[in-house]
């Protein structure tokens, strides 16, 4: 399973990760993303590597 982390200090709450990949990321009440289930990263519906690259503030770390 890949290592996936959201740096909540960096996250600006844009919501992109959660909208790209709702099975893996969710937004907390204070509008920060968090990893809900990294095991879903390898599912058809989610390309976590692209999500990590798409975060505008590079808050997501993805490691194979
Ligand atoms: Fe935050 Fe980046 Fe997701 S800013 S909401 S971790 S795409």
User: Which among 29, 21, 24 is positioned nearest to 3, based on CA atoms?
Assistant: 24
pLDDT for 60 beyond 90:
yes
Residue nearest to atom 3 of ligand 1 (CA): 17
Distance (angstroms) between ligand 1 centre and the Cα of 42 equals 19
Of ligand 1's atoms, which has the minimum distance to the CA of residue 10? Answer: 4
Pocket test for ligand 1, best of 20, 28, 59, 62 (most atoms within 8 A of CB): 59
| pLDDT for 44 | 77
3-63: which CATH number, 3.30.1360.10, 3.20.20.70, 3.30.70.20, 3.40.50.2300? 3.30.70.20
**Predicted TM-score (pTM) of this structure:** 0.93
Per-domain residue ranges for the chain?
3-63
For 2-55, how does the pLDDT look when each residue is reduced to its tens digit (9 = 90+)?
A: 899 999 999 999 999 999 999 999 999 999 999 999 998 877 778 999 999 999
| pLDDT for 46 | 85
């Amino acid at each position: 399973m890949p290592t996936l982390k959201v740096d909540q200090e960096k996250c600006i709450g844009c919501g992109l990760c959660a909208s790209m990949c709702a099975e893996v990321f969710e937004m907390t009440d204070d509008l920060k993303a968090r990893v809900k289930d990294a095991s879903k990263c390898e599912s058809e519906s989610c390309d976590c590597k692209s999500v990590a690259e798409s975060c505008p503030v590079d808050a997501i770390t993805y490691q194979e």
